[in-house]
């Protein structure tokens, strides 16, 4: 069964899509079979993965609204090592259409059942709003990764996002947990970055990733070439940081699974 990670933050411009694309690529380099799901109508994760979203024969919209099998829509991106379930502006219509459906929050979860054990990891790039699409991702996911730019406004909205996640845990997905909070676009010379880090350590120390994503021009340039940073400039600080993040996530998941197995063994 694949481990599903939703990359979510209702604040735009925090590095959400950059994290989704580069995490997928980094997990693939670690010899994991990975699917990246673009659940944002802007389709930036699709573009950043080398997909021409204007020429799609089918997309995640068809999976959600027309019950099309995910495996029939997935694009195999051999050049970058992972598979992609792409999105384009058609997905905007799904936001409204889903509101009319009973059990709408389970639509993606039901669609993912067709995947079986085809993948080790699924990464979902969520839109920068807490809308029906994001709720679908959080219901389907095992964990949520929260990218956070080290500035005041993103920090201000973090508590609200965590409260929303806790509400979803109580109502529709009791297994959901926070994989971690990821600091992005960090400038070590900036006092603001350091101040925000202190606040994060103070209030969210157990959830904060040790890995920090630096402000890096190569990360910004890579999407225009349809590539993750790892394939655009593998030696760049940004690419190396996402490889470190993949290692940290794999370790966290391994430890968590071991703890669960131990608990189950004691209970039985």
pLDDT digit string, tens, across residues 56-74: 999 999 999 999 999 999 9
Which pLDDT score is estimated for 189?
83
Name which residue leads in pLDDT, 11 or 74: 74
pLDDT higher than threshold 80 for residue 268: no
pLDDT higher than threshold 90 for residue 22: yes
pLDDT digit string, tens, across residues 225-238: 999 999 999 999 99
Which pLDDT score is estimated for 13?
87
pLDDT band at 160 (very low <50, low <70, confident <90, very high): confident
pLDDT digit string, tens, across residues 99-131: 888 889 999 999 999 898 999 999 999 999 889
User: How high is the mean pLDDT of the chain?
Assistant: 93
pLDDT digit string, tens, across residues 185-203: 998 888 888 888 888 888 8
Q: Which CATH number fits domain 3-267: 3.40.50.450, 3.40.605.10, 3.60.20.30, 3.40.50.300?
A: 3.40.50.300
pLDDT higher than threshold 90 for residue 159: no
pLDDT digit string, tens, across residues 138-148: 999 999 999 99
Weakest mean pLDDT among 29-43, 138-152, 241-255: 138-152
Name which residue leads in pLDDT, 13 or 247: 247
pLDDT higher than threshold 90 for residue 26: yes
CA–CA gap between residue 35 and residue 21 (Å, rounded): 10
pLDDT higher than threshold 80 for residue 153: no
What tokens appear for 73 in the block?
């829509």
């Amino acid at each position: 069964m694949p481990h599903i990670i939703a990359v979510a933050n209702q604040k735009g411009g925090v590095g959400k899509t950059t994290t989704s694309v580069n995490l997928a690529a980094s997990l693939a380099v670690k010899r994991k079979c990975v699917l990246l799901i673009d659940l944002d109508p802007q389709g930036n994760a699709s573009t950043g993965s080398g997909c021409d979203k204007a020429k799609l024969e089918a997309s995640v919209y068809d999976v959600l609204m027309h019950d099309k099998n995910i495996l029939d829509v997935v694009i195999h991106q051999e050049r970058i090592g992972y598979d992609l379930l792409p999105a384009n502006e058609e997905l905007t219509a799904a936001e409204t259409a889903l509101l009319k459906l009973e059990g709408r929050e389970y639509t993606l979860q039901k669609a993912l059942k067709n995947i079986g054990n085809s993948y080790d990891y699924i990464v979902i790039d969520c839109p920068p709003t807490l809308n029906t699409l994001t709720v679908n991702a959080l219901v389907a996911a095992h964990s949520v990764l929260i990218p956070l730019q080290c500035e005041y406004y993103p920090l201000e909205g973090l508590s609200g996002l965590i409260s929303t996640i806790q509400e979803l845990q109580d109502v529709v997905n009791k297994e959901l947990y926070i994989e971690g909070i990821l600091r992005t676009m960090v400038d070590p010379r900036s006092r603001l970055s350091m101040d925000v880090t202190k606040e994060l350590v103070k209030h969210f120390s157990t959830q904060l990733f040790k890995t920090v994503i630096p402000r890096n021009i190569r990360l910004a340039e890579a999407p225009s070439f349809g590539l993750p940073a790892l394939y655009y400039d593998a030696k760049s600080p940004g690419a190396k940081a996402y490889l470190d993040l993949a290692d940290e996530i794999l370790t966290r998941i391994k430890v968590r699974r071991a703890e669960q197995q131990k608990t189950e063994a004691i209970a039985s």
